[in-house]
Chain A
Amino acid sequence: MFNNNVNFLFGDSLSLGVSEKLWNYNYTRYHPMDEISSWMDSVVEQNPKLVTSLVYGQTFEKRDIKLLKFGLPDPGGLEKKAVWVDCGIHAREWIAPAFCQWFVKEILQSYNESDVRLTKFLQKIDLYVTPVLNVDGYMFSWTNQSTRLWRKSRSLPPQGCTCHGVDLNRNFNANWGTVGVSTDCCSNTYCGVSPASEPEAKAVTDFVGTRVDQFLCYLTIHSSGQLILLPYGHPQITAPNYEELVSVGKAAASEMKKLYGMEYRVGTSPQILYANSGSSRDWARLLGIPFSYTFELRDKGEFGHLLPEDQIKPACEEAYVGVTSILSYVYDNNFPNDKLPTAAATACVHVTGLIVMTTLATLLVTLGSV
Chain B
Amino acid sequence: MRNSVPTSSIGKLLYSTNTTQQQQQQQQVSLDVDVMLTGELNPNHYPARRAAQVVLHHLNTRYGSPYWWGALRQVHKATAEALGDSGRKYSLEVTLQDQISGTKETCTAEVVFPGGPAGGPPQVTTSYEGKSEINTQAQEEALYNQYNTSQNLLSGHNLPDSYGHVAPGMEPFWHLGGVASSFVMLKESSENTLYNMAQVVSVTQLATENNQLRFNYDVLLHEMVSQEIIHWKLLASWSPQEGVKASQMELLPKCHHCEPPQEH
Please report A residues at the B interface, Cβ cutoff 8 Å.
30, 142, 145, 148-149, 151, 158-160, 162, 167, 173-184, 186-189, 193-195, 225, 234-238, 242, 263, 265, 267-268, 271-275, 286, 300-309, 311
Out of A142, A177, A238, A300, which one reaches B18, CB within 8 Å? A177
* Interface pair B227/A151, CB less than 8 Å apart: yes
CB distance from A96 to the nearest CB of B (A): 14
User: How far in angstroms is the closest Cβ of chain B from A316?
Assistant: 14
Q: Are A178 and B15 in contact (CB under 8 A)?
A: no
Q: With both chains docked as a complex, state the minimum distance between the C-beta of B55 and any C-beta of chain A, in angstroms.
A: 14
Q: At the interface, is chain B mostly helix, strand, loop or mixed?
A: loop
Q: Which of B108-116, B142-150, B156-164, B241-249 contacts A (4 or more CB under 8 A)?
A: B156-164
Are A238 and B21 CB-contacts (below 8 A) given A179-B29, A272-B46? Answer: no
- Residue ID in chain A nearest B254 by CB atoms: A186
Q: Taking the complex as formed, is B106 at the interface, i.e. its CB lies under 8 A from any CB of chain A?
A: no
B127 at the interface (CB under 8 A from A): no
Which of chain B's residues have a CB closer than 8 A to the CB of A174? 14-15
Given contacts A236-B9, A263-B74, 5 further A-B contacts (CB under 8 A): A142-B162, A194-B19, A236-B33, A304-B196, A306-B162
Which residues of chain B in 15-55 are interfacial with respect to chain A, using CB atoms and an 8 Å cutoff? 15-16, 18-19, 21-31, 33-34, 42, 44-46, 49
Is B151 in contact with chain A by the CB < 8 A criterion? no
Indicate if the CB atoms of B164 and A307 lie closer than 8 Å: yes
Find the B residue at minimum CB distance from A269.
Answer: B46
What are some 10 contacts across the A-B interface (CB < 8 A)? A30-B163, A175-B14, A176-B18, A179-B30, A183-B24, A186-B258, A272-B46, A305-B198, A306-B198, A307-B164
A308 B164 Cβ-Cβ under 8 A: yes
A195-B16 Cα distance, complex, nearest whole Å: 7
- Chain A residues with CB under 8 A of B161: 145, 306
The answer to whether B165 touches A173, judged by C-beta atoms less than 8 angstroms apart, is no
Q: How far is the CB of B132 from chain A (nearest CB, A)?
A: 21
Q: Chain B: how many interface residues by the 8 Å CB criterion?
A: 56
Of the residues A162, A275, A286, contact of B34 by C-beta under 8 Å: A275
| Set A160, A176, A180, A265: member contacting B16, Cβ < 8 A | A176
Contact A145 B26 (CB under 8 A): no
Which residues of chain B come closer than 8 Å to A234, judged between CB atoms?
Answer: 13
Contact residue among A148, A188, A308, A311 (Cβ-Cβ distance under 8 Å from B227): A188
B122, chain A: closest CB distance, angstroms: 18
- In the bound complex, how far is the Cα of B2 from the Cα of A308, in angstroms? 37
Contact of B21 among A142, A158, A180, A236 (CB under 8 A): A158
Task: Report A-chain residues with C-beta under 8 Å of the C-beta of B3.
Answer: 235-236
Closest beta carbon of chain A to B223's beta carbon, Å = 9
In angstroms, Cα B45 to Cα A187, docked, is: 25
Contacts of A307 in B (CB 8 A): 164
Q: How far is the CB of B162 from chain A (nearest CB, A)?
A: 5
Query: Closest residue of chain A to B31, judged by CB?
Result: A179
CA distance A176 to B42 in the complex (A): 28
Q: Contact: B228 with A187, CB < 8 Å?
A: yes
Residue B180 at the chain A interface, CB threshold 8 Å:
no
Q: Hey, which chain B residues are within 8 Å of A167, CB to CB? A: 227
B13 x A236 contact (CB < 8 A): yes
